[in-house]
Structure 1
Amino acid sequence: MNKKVKFQDLGSKDYKETWDYQEELFARIVQQKIAKRENPTIETDNYFLYVEHPHVYTLGKSGDFSNLLLSEKQLEEKGASFYKINRGGDITYHGPGQIVGYPILDLENFFTDIHKYLRFLEEAIILTLAEYGLKTERSPGETGVWFDVGTPFARKICAMGVRASRWVTMHGFALNVNVDLGYFDNIIPCGIRGKAVTSMQVELNKQVNEEEVKQKILKHFQTLFLASIINDNC
């Protein structure tokens, strides 16, 4: 089992361009898995991508289009794009000030359990936020990371949506750090009505160093997955 994870920080990158790149890495790993049947010595790759997207709304494969509250013209006016994509979950927003992480892993290198995979991603975020004195938790039946679950003040700080096929993952999480939360007013986030969205900046009442947060997430990811992070930036 190959527990080495190639890490790449793509910086600011168009959503569709990044999605295509994810698909390319995903297909590469699947081909490695097929070749491995004939030659068991072949190792399958794992990747962890960080990226920041320009304003974009994405709708999961089972999502409801009516949860986007903007017309095509209004999207254009806001400088935002929209894509219906092949991950789980409903609608979400990505934009500047948000840390987006895409682990593209062969889970057969770690464990073959999608539920556990999602819980580990959530735990990496929960542990990271705890380092800033922020107490977050899971909400039963609602993937992601939340504050004050079960109260009228429940609010989500990190959304998650993944795709997995042949135990290879893609897509991932989006943590609101210094993001403009006004863009969430144009959707029903994750299709869940009546629950707010928040950010580290709002909760801490100050700008947060995004590079520092990235390093903390990566540290906890590495510990939880017993992975070895290999810098693969060009």
Structure 2
Amino acid sequence: MENRSCFSLRLDGLTKYLEGLNLQNLALEKVMSGKADCILILLEHEPVLTVGKSGGRENLLVDESELERLGVELQSTGRGGNITYHGPGQVVAYPVLNLGKWKKDLPWYVHSLEEVVIRVLEDYGIEAGRKPEYRGVWVKETKIAAVGIAVKRWFTMHGFALNVRVNKEHFKLINPCGIKDYTIASMDDFVDSVDLHEIIKSVEEKFSLVFKSKLIEVSREWLESGQSEGETRLA
């Protein structure tokens, strides 16, 4: 594996969307300043609908008072794509990368993120793939993972969300990613028992293989500090 400084941070419990966004911004500061080439943040969000730069409020199927009643937030975000859902039982991966250390090629990057998910699912006997007209990962005619990224000067934010055992009723609040013709899948549709922590470890493993980098686990305190990679405090 090539000599790249890649770190991984796993968050326990549920994380508010804006808190996760703040952590991404802290990671971006470290990557842009050269203290790391890659920081992979893995978490579960509290229930939230996020609207991308392409819009998406037209694909919200209920009014905001209904969202409030259900305890689902609505947030605008800087990633590409349309409206999507994050919530408990979904592994969300935010790779903050300096693509200059890999390949300055956005289709390659999106394809690689999808490949990470496809390989995770393969380990669970779930045959998944891509649809040429849509981003994300699909099991036949159902979407099991969404991909939405933001890239500026070849530095990345946002990433992908893999449905493990999600509340599908929340997806009915929207046309996910603006798509009306297909339904949502979750790993527990195909596997009797799924352990979120095991899947997070699998995401780290497959990310390491696809991006040809060894991941070093770090603490949230390290991310929130001004330490450089040589002073990394392991989790």
Measure, in 1, the Cα distance between the counterparts of 2:211 and 2:72: 35
Q: Which runs of 5+ in 2 are unaligned?
A: 221-235
Q: 1:197 aligns with which of 152, 163, 184?
A: 184
Measure, in 2, the Cα distance between the counterparts of 1:13 and 1:44: 23
Measure, in 2, the Cα distance between the counterparts of 1:195 and 1:21: 32
- One-letter amino acid of the structure 1 residue matched with residue 198 of structure 2: E
SS of alignment partner, residue 125 of structure 2: coil
Partner of 1:21: 23
Partner of 1:50: 42
- One-letter amino acid of the structure 2 residue matched with residue 231 of structure 1: E
Q: CA deviation at 1:25?
A: 2.0
Q: 1:86 aligns with which of 78, 89, 92?
A: 78
SS of alignment partner, residue 186 of structure 1: coil
Identity %: 37
Report if aligned partners of 1:178, 1:207 keep a CA contact under 8 Å in 2: no
Partner of 1:233: 219
Q: How does 1:121-140 map to 2 (within 5 A)?
A: 121-140=113-132
SS of alignment partner, residue 159 of structure 1: strand
Q: CA deviation at 1:228?
A: 1.3
Partner of 2:229: none
SS of alignment partner, residue 55 of structure 2: coil
Deviations 1:27-78 (A, max 9, x none): 3433x2xxxxxxxxx6643100001111000011112311111211101100
Report if aligned partners of 1:99, 1:214 keep a CA contact under 8 Å in 2: yes
State yes or no: 1:176 paired with 2:163. Answer: yes
Q: CA deviation at 1:141?
A: 2.2
Partner of 1:120: 112
The total of aligned residue pairs comes to: 218
Q: Which runs of 5+ in 1 are unaligned?
A: 33-41, 149-153
RMSD: 1.4
- One-letter amino acid of the structure 1 residue matched with residue 37 of structure 2: D
State yes or no: 1:218 paired with 2:204. Answer: yes
Report if aligned partners of 1:99, 1:174 keep a CA contact under 8 Å in 2: yes
TM norm structure 1: 0.89
Measure, in 1, the Cα distance between the counterparts of 2:62 and 2:105: 37
Measure, in 2, the Cα distance between the counterparts of 1:136 and 1:6: 27
Structure 1's consecutive aligned runs of 4 or more residues displaced over 2 angstroms after TM superposition are 27-30, 42-45
